[in-house]
Chain A
Amino acid sequence: MSIDQNTAAKVAKLARIKVEEDALPALASEFNTILGFIEQLNEVDVEGVEPMVSVTPMRLKRRDDVVTDGDQQDKVLSNAPDAREGFFAVPKVVE
């Protein structure tokens, strides 16, 4: 499986990372090196083997669905790059 520049551009888009056009060939080449390394996994017979879900088998704990926290709007917003009137502010998303 070889990754071309178009695939590299598509992956960058999916990952929401801007990659300049002229950086795509090097990126594609790095992907191919890493994926080439990963290809070794195809040598392993995994027939009938379950994919691991949890490394230490445990049942996730349940709790009552009640509010345990909250009422700290100022703390939630304190690290925001742009907060206005109690909200996170972002560029316009609806035309």
Chain B
Amino acid sequence: MSDLNKLTLAEARDALRKGDTTSVELTESCLAAIDAADALNAFVHKTPDIALERAAAADTRIKSGDAPSMCGLPIGIKDLFCTKGVPSQAASRILEGFKPEYESTVSQKLADAGAVMLGKLNMDEFAMGSSNETSVYGNAVNPWRRGNDDAPLTPGGSSGGSAAAVAADLCLAATGTDTGGSIRQPAAFTGTVGIKPTYGRCSRWGIVAFASSLDQAGPMTKSVRDAAIMLEAMMGHDPKDSTSAELAVPDFEAMLTGDIRGKKIGIPREYHMEGMPAEIDALWAEGRKMLADAGAEIVDISLPHTKYALPAYYVIAPAEASSNLARYDGVRYGHRATLAQGDGITEMYEKTRAEGFGHEVQRRVMVGTYVLSAGFYDAYYNRARRVRTLIKRDFETVFAQGVDAILTPATPSAAFGLGEMTDADPVQMYLNDVFTVTVNLAGLPGISVPAGVDAQGLPLGLQLIGRPWEEGDLLNTAYALETAAGFVAKPGNWW
């Protein structure tokens, strides 16, 4: 078989089980694709030795008839996941040289399911960004381009390396994490599928923390079926994460019937944004029609506090980040600044953190420090948490009215050019997450499905938001949307 790296997880799994190929062949094909794609800067730590060793072990298991769900399937892991003995630095200088002595629960579960790790993927520093431009490794580059224009575009962020790698067929799938849209926005920018499950579904243990009440891991894949396969392997209760849900993991793939007759799909009027490109609006209308044609009932709904989701997020996320990132002190791991004669421990902290954190991370840590400081805690942090309660209540109200899922655009635009937002104020960049951030604040599952291309040939995504814990139903609705949209475009290989 040729072009093994271009297979989906499901296709590769079936080929492996039929004996049409081997995991070693699949893995070698991906490793070659990775080595030929340095221009994308997606893989930042390559682990070919680990990959080939795990692939050989997988082939033995497949031959013996003992193949778990992802046995032999080569994937990439976002740099935010701690992987034993392999650099895990959250794309930050402050974790330079850090090699964990342990493995994150999610990457361990994937390894237990037989998946083969190809290496670590680029991202925004500490997952803070929407364009992968805050990474210490430099920008990841979107394999998609605007027609014949060779200006490099962002793959989105923060899981930009994951999105670029999957879209460019460097791996069959990748892990991502999503605090305000960091799986769904890059998926939309690269024509891939990305799902953030309900808060509590995937263990956060061993994933470098950004904002603990919002962070969730999820898969980034080439199809909805693959998302179902991989999410199932990533999920499950973990006693090491006190917020991990003690719920059974369903067989998601078996739930992909494509039958959504009678399902109620809500269209939130507050997601009609002023200045939204006509193409996004048109795509949204098409998505509505596709789901209606598949037998779903489309209803207009209201989520009145939508407008306040981003401002609430930009209090809560920096507040939690300022607390989480306090651990980077130059004492236990990572970078420590060179000290001058007479410098004490405070100078060590201050210099280490000034050198180790990039600009955006410093800014968010300081904003978080400010909103939590004496005298402002109530006015900012507590108010934001109250607004968060109202945002969640908006969703509870529409779900109580019988809505099964909510359809929205995934992003307010297609992928933009790297460097195009450099001169914009930080709030302009934050607006990228306007349709996704509500889902994190409410703890709900959300999935981005590629649904069309814009006039310049760039992919656009639609988002479906589901009821808590009902990822299976959400994946099935996404599957129906994917089938109706029939998105098959791929970026040309220029790299």
- In the complex, what residue of chain A is closest to B374 when comparing beta carbons? A14
- In the complex, what residue of chain A is closest to B348 when comparing beta carbons? A91
Flag if B363 contacts A41 (CB, 8 Å).
no
Give the number of residue pairs across the A-B interface with Cβ within 8 Å.
166
Proximity bits, B339-365, A CB within 8 Å = 1, else 0: 100011111111101100100001101
Residues of B within 8 A of A92 (CB): 344-345
Contact partner, A37, options B198, B314, B371, Cβ 8 Å: B314
A17 → B minimal CB distance (Å): 5
**Contact (A82, B427) CB under 8 Å given A17-B362, A88-B331:** no
**Contact (A51, B366) CB under 8 Å given A18-B354, A56-B443, A79-B99:** no
Bound Cα distance A88, B331 (Å): 7
In the assembled complex, B426 has its CB within 8 A of some CB on chain A: yes
A69 → B minimal CB distance (Å): 10
Flag if B390 contacts A15 (CB, 8 Å).
no
Number of residues on chain B facing chain A (CB within 8 A): 72
A5 → B minimal CB distance (Å): 13
Bound Cα distance A76, B311 (Å): 39
A91 → B minimal CB distance (Å): 5
Flag if B332 contacts A80 (CB, 8 Å).
yes
Flag if B387 contacts A46 (CB, 8 Å).
yes
Bound Cα distance A11, B376 (Å): 12
Binds A, one of B4-12, B109-117, B378-386, B409-417: B378-386
A23 → B minimal CB distance (Å): 10
Residues of B within 8 A of A8 (CB): 366
Considering only residues 381-408 of chain B, those with a C-beta below 8 Å from chain A are 382-390, 392
A28 → B minimal CB distance (Å): 11
Residues of A within 8 A of B430 (CB): 37
In the assembled complex, B266 has its CB within 8 A of some CB on chain A: no
Proximity bits, B303-345, A CB within 8 Å = 1, else 0: 0010110111011000000100010011111111001000111
In the assembled complex, B60 has its CB within 8 A of some CB on chain A: no
Bound Cα distance A63, B143 (Å): 49
Flag if A56 contacts B385 (CB, 8 Å).
no
In the assembled complex, B15 has its CB within 8 A of some CB on chain A: no
Flag if B373 contacts A11 (CB, 8 Å).
yes
Q: Nearest 5 A-B pairs (CB), nearest first? A: A55-B443, A51-B385, A81-B336, A79-B333, A46-B386
Q: Which residues of B contact A (CB under 8 A)?
A: 97-101, 198-200, 213, 239, 242-243, 245, 305, 307-308, 310-312, 314-315, 322, 326, 329-336, 339, 343-351, 353-354, 357, 362-363, 365-367, 369-371, 373, 380, 382-390, 392, 425-427, 430, 441-443, 468
14 contacts between A and B (CB under 8 A): A15-B353, A18-B347, A30-B426, A41-B311, A53-B385, A56-B243, A72-B101, A79-B334, A81-B336, A88-B331, A90-B348, A91-B339, A91-B345, A93-B344
